[in-house]
């Protein structure tokens, strides 16, 4: 929205190519996030299906456990992707805050706040799923990615907030 609002404004001609690209990237990302909701639900359905597998014999127990681990890894992968995509959304929000119209900078701030919330929520879901992984290497790798992406999201969210504040209170 920030990109679209600035597009037709006088004095923003030099920013139009960058704002067009920003707006297009943001639209693609928005569509991706909407589809991620369904992917997350499907991944959780996989966990539920694995939980319902029979477990009377040792073979059934082993097959169920293998299915549970695969499903849990898939269930952790979706929020990890959301977390990493939230970082990309924060990069766009920062560009919008820095390059967009001062009159619409609050919208860039809202985008940054929403992306931060998405990152934090996704990080929690990664952690809860990772706790059920038996493979210590897979668990450590996943949690390492989660920690790195969340730290990056926090840095970017803080930068978005600072850029917004600078435009809301110029000269202070």
How do the domains of the chain map onto residue ranges? 15-168
Contact criterion met (CB below 8 Å) for 93 and 160: yes
| Nearest in space to 4 (alpha carbons), one of 87, 111, 159 | 111
Neighbouring C-beta atoms of residue 54, cutoff 10 Å: 10
Q: Tell me: the pLDDT tens digits for 55-95?
A: 999 999 999 999 999 999 999 999 999 999 999 999 999 99
| pLDDT at residue 7, as a whole number | 57
**Fold (topology level) of 15-168:** 1.20.120
Given a cut of 60, is residue 167 above it in pLDDT? yes
């Amino acid at each position: 929205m920030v990109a679209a609002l600035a597009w037709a404004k006088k004095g923003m001609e030099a920013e139009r190519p960058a704002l067009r690209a920003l707006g297009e990237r943001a639209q693609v990302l928005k569509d991706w996030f909407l589809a991620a909701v369904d992917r997350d639900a499907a991944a959780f359905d996989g966990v539920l299906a694995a939980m319902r597998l029979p477990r009377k014999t040792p073979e059934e127990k082993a097959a169920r456990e293998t299915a549970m681990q695969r499903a849990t890894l898939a269930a952790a992968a979706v929020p990890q992707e959301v977390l990493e995509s939230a970082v990309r959304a924060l990069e766009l929000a920062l560009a919008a805050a820095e390059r967009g119209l001062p009159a619409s900078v609050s919208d860039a701030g809202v985008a940054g706040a929403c992306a931060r919330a998405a990152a934090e929520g996704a990080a929690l879901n990664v952690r809860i799923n990772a706790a059920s992984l038996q493979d210590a290497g897979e668990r450590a790798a996943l949690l390492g990615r989660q920690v790195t992406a969340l730290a990056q999201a926090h840095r970017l969210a803080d930068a978005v907030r600072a850029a917004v504040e600078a435009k809301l209170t110029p000269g202070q």
